[in-house]
Amino acid sequence: MRIGIIGGGIIGLSSAYYLQKTGHQVTIIDQDDLQISCSTGNAGMIVPSHLIPLASPGMISKGIRWMFNSTSPFYVKPRWNGDLLKWGYHFYRHANKEHVAHAAIALKEISLFSKSMYQQWAKELPFDFEYHERGLLMLFHSKEAEHEESETAHFANKHGIDAHILSSSEVQQLEPNVKVKARGGVYFPGDAHLTPQVLMSQLITYLKEKGVVFLTNTTITDFVVDNQQIREVVASSERFSFDELIVASGSWSGAIGKKLHVNMPMQAGKGYSFLTPIQKNIQVPSIFLEARVAVTPMGDSIRFGGTMEIAGVNHTINMNRVKGIVDSIPKYYPEMNIAMPAQSNVWHGLRPCSPDGLPYIGKSKKIKNLTIATGHAMMGLSLAPGTGKLVQQIIDQDQTSISMEAFNPDRYQ
């Protein structure tokens, strides 16, 4: 079939990878040049440990508390916006223990499935994207964070995800080359990491060699829909026709869904990161729990990233948020002296956040030839190859490798 994919981030590329393998003619359409997407500057973590969705008990009170601190890890810009208000209502409804229990099962399944796909990629792709299975350290200073993360560790172990609660000295044993200052930590040995900008650039080259067509700097403006079928995709002065269409356009997916009368509540969660040359050789990626900062070794550099800023689809950079990241580093790695980066060296990306913390993956009931794959929030890279494989199975009408009920894209219709 002729298959169009709207969105050239890691979800779109992963879908293209599996679809071209089964013989389809694939075209990827993206409004940018694929150099600044959320897929290139993220923390590069593959995290089956992340079982608890963003919509969880305590997040609303934390969010309100953090809103009044310009360097805090989470911020919702107050504004009279219908989409934000609806999103907030659905978030509030899902921030409970029952939803977390339901979501954790689904997130575990897709996370472990996606990790197994990464393991295959590491063996079969003709390039090295620096995939390493060294686990993840969650570092904490406060009694409150220790209690919360210990509860998370027990929750993970209960669901079959290996988690170890470590003392300060046990944390230090995992990092022989770097002084770590922490009350303790939780170690998830089953997590992994890679270098996303290498994976993205090499995968784009590979897919082009396999015949996938890329239409960049091409903005979708409308669709021609007839008899529950997308007949044409309209982009500026051009029109395209496909047998099947996939929407994998990240934070823009909600707006595209509106054009097709498909309701997918979505907010863009802006994050920031920057690379710095290695001062000390970190072995295990970490997350500073109080600061919500992710730290990942990537080649001869370290990437520091964090914050979740719900402020609409925009590309302004709030350097106070970046300062919050920089200021947190010596609190956990006291020997690291990291200077404030220039704004031109700060990457930012817009994470597509659904209100219940679960992605939208599946066929739309409203439009017969539309498949949706978006809303992965901070786990887009982690869940990408698994999502891509599921998209291929859905389009080829194969039995899906995992249950898809929790990811139903029509759940807010």
Q: Is 290 exposed, middle or buried (0-12, 13-18, 19+ CB in 10 A)?
A: middle
| Phi/psi at 372 (5° precision) | -115, 140
> What is d(CA 347, CA 240) in angstroms, rounded to the nearest whole number?
32
- pLDDT, average across residues 280-299: 93
pLDDT at res. 309: 82
Q: Is residue 360 very low, low, confident or very high in pLDDT (cuts 50, 70, 90)? A: very high
Q: Is the pLDDT of residue 307 over 90?
A: no
Domain boundaries, the chain: 2-407
- pLDDT, average across residues 344-355: 92
C-beta of residue 205 within 8 angstroms of C-beta of residue 126: no
Q: Is residue 38 very low, low, confident or very high in pLDDT (cuts 50, 70, 90)? A: low
> What is d(CA 344, CA 309) in angstroms, rounded to the nearest whole number?
19
pLDDT at res. 279: 80
Place of tokens 């409970």: 96
pLDDT at res. 295: 97
> What is d(CA 277, CA 406) in angstroms, rounded to the nearest whole number?
41
127 versus 92: the higher-pLDDT residue is 127
- pLDDT, average across residues 81-94: 88
Q: Which residues, in sequence order, are CB contacts of 244 under 8 Å at separation 6+?
A: 1, 2, 3, 4, 369, 370, 371, 395
Q: Is the pLDDT of residue 68 over 70?
A: no
In order of 106, 142, 185, 197, 246, the CA distances from 291 in angstroms are 27, 11, 14, 24, 36
Q: How many other C-beta atoms can be found within 10 angstroms of the C-beta atom of residue 97?
A: 9
User: Which residue type sits at 225?
Assistant: V
Q: Is the pLDDT of residue 323 over 70?
A: yes
Share of the chain residues as helix, strand and coil, in percent rounded to the nearest 5: 35, 25, 40
> What is the 3 state secondary structure string of 143-197?
HHHHHHHHHHHHHHHHCCCCCEEEEHHHHHHHCCCCCCCCCEEEEECCCEECCHH
- pLDDT, average across residues 294-315: 89
The pTM is what? 0.95
Q: Is residue 67 very low, low, confident or very high in pLDDT (cuts 50, 70, 90)? A: low
Q: Which two tokens stand for residue 174?
A: 């995992």
Mean pLDDT of the chain: 92
- pLDDT, average across residues 42-69: 82
pLDDT at res. 36: 64
C-beta of residue 268 within 8 angstroms of C-beta of residue 351: yes
Digit-coded pLDDT (tens) for 143-202: 999 999 999 999 999 999 999 999 999 999 999 999 999 999 999 999 999 999 999 999
**Choices 3.65.10.10, 3.40.50.2300, 3.40.640.10, 3.50.50.60: CATH for 2-407:** 3.50.50.60
C-beta of residue 16 within 8 angstroms of C-beta of residue 23: no
Own/partner pairs, 262-265, CB within 8 angstroms, 24+ separation: 262/364, 262/366, 262/367, 262/370, 262/372, 262/409, 262/410, 262/413, 263/412, 263/413, 264/354, 264/360, 264/372, 264/374, 264/375, 264/409, 264/412, 265/83, 265/86, 265/87, 265/90, 265/354, 265/355, 265/412
pLDDT at res. 286: 98
pLDDT at res. 413: 86
- According to the per-residue pLDDT averaged within each range, which of 48-57, 204-213, 268-277 is highest? 204-213
In order of 16, 257, 322, the CA distances from 28 in angstroms are 8, 17, 32
User: Which residue type sits at 107?
Assistant: L
Q: Is the pLDDT of residue 56 over 90?
A: no
Between 7-11, 102-106, 233-237, the lowest mean confidence (pLDDT) is in 233-237
Q: Is the pLDDT of residue 138 over 80?
A: yes
- pLDDT, average across residues 71-93: 82
Q: Which of 298, 275, 292, 281 is closest to 333 using CA atoms?
A: 281
